[in-house]
Amino acid sequence: QVQLVESGGGLVQAGGSLRLTCAASGLTFSYYMGWFRQAPGKEREFVAAISRTGRSIEYADSVKGRFTISKDNAKNTVYLQMNSLIPEDTAVYYCAAGNLLARMSAGYNYWGQGTRVTVSS
């Protein structure tokens, strides 16, 4: 049974940092891993993705230069380091696993339950 469990969300002031963690079980870590987010009243949007080897990485323009995605294959874990947070980053953040390095949610087969990030101004 595939399971993705996110952690690390919380309340932070604008300009602060958080690191999200996604622990994967039940799948080989040969999957591509992605982070998405969904703000209240908005559709889920792509944040970042990383390839199997970690050599290919993509970011949404809105987070480029502030967020960093990484993975530890030995621990079956993927991270999202978020710096210089702004109120617009407030959302529920989801981890996903799939077979493509995709910016679209349809490209992912497995999803976590999400972790909430709130950035206060």
Q: How confident is the model at residue 83 (pLDDT cuts 50, 70, 90)?
A: very high
Q: Residue 43 has which token pair?
A: 């559709």
- Report whether 107 contacts 118 (CB < 8 A): no
Q: 48 vs 36, 82, 102, CA distance in Å?
A: 7, 11, 9
Q: Residue 61 pairs with which residues in a beta bridge?
A: none
Question: 6: how many CB neighbours lie within 10 A of its CB?
Answer: 22
Instruction: Encode pLDDT of 102-114 as tens digits.
Output: 899 999 999 999 9
Across the chain, mean pLDDT equals 94
Instruction: Encode pLDDT of 15-59 as tens digits.
Output: 999 999 999 998 766 789 999 999 999 999 999 999 988 899 999
CA distance 9 to 115: 5
- Report whether 95 contacts 33 (CB < 8 A): yes
